[in-house]
Amino acid sequence: MQKSNGLPRRRSLRMKTHDYSEPYIYSFTICTAQHKQLFRREINVNIVIKILSDYARKYNVIIHAYCIMPDHLHILIEPTTNYPITRYIDIIKGRITHELHNNGLDGRIWQSGYYDHVLRKHENLKHLIKYILENPMRKGIVSNFVEYRWSWDKYGIKETALKQIKRVK
């Protein structure tokens, strides 16, 4: 199937049989349009963090971890109500876009859609959090994930690792 612009239509990344209003833990990766490095500027990152926090409270979503990379965002979240988590993601993308435009950015902010992963029973939550936190290290931005300013986790994995490093020094 083709879009009106002649390009092939992307296959949906959503699982067709999964009910996204169910209280699972979800990992989302949301990329900027054309992989623009919008989140190298501290003001832009602060906007993202504030909106994630404000809207998590508003929609009763638990944030387990996040990592804001220069051109994408990783977020590990869990709804506590039956509000579809995909709707929450659409709302925060729209809110972040609005605020970034108010702060002087123009044009498209996000790629359409996002990648998601539903945490399965056999998967370890803390391992997934550490994987998310280590993203800047894998990309060569920092040598140790604790050095990266724009990541956070609810369980203190990053904080504990930082304390261990300080004890060794």
Any domain includes 7? no
What is the extent of the structural domain holding 105?
A: 26-168
- The per-residue pLDDT for range 8-30, each reduced to its tens digit, is 444 445 455 566 666 789 999 99
Any domain includes 96? yes
Rounded to an integer, the average pLDDT of 56-66 is 96
Rounded to an integer, the average pLDDT of 163-167 is 75
Which residues neighbour 39 within 8 Å (Cβ) at sequence distance 6 or greater? Answer: 32, 45, 48, 68, 69, 70, 71, 73, 150
Any domain includes 9? no
Any domain includes 35? yes
| Single pTM value for the model | 0.85
- The per-residue pLDDT for range 115-148, each reduced to its tens digit, is 999 998 899 999 999 999 999 999 999 999 999 9
Backbone φ and ψ of 66, nearest 5°: -150, 160
Look at residue 149 and tell me whether its pLDDT is greater than 60: yes
Any domain includes 13? no
Number of domains in the chain: 1
CATH of the domain at 40: 3.30.70.1290
Task: Say what the pLDDT of residue 83 is.
Answer: 87
Task: Say what the pLDDT of residue 161 is.
Answer: 86
Rounded to an integer, the average pLDDT of 80-109 is 95
Which residues neighbour 163 within 8 Å (Cβ) at sequence distance 6 or greater? Answer: none
DSSP 150: T
Task: Say what the pLDDT of residue 121 is.
Answer: 87
What span, in angstroms and rounded, lies between the C-alpha atoms of 86 and 113? 10
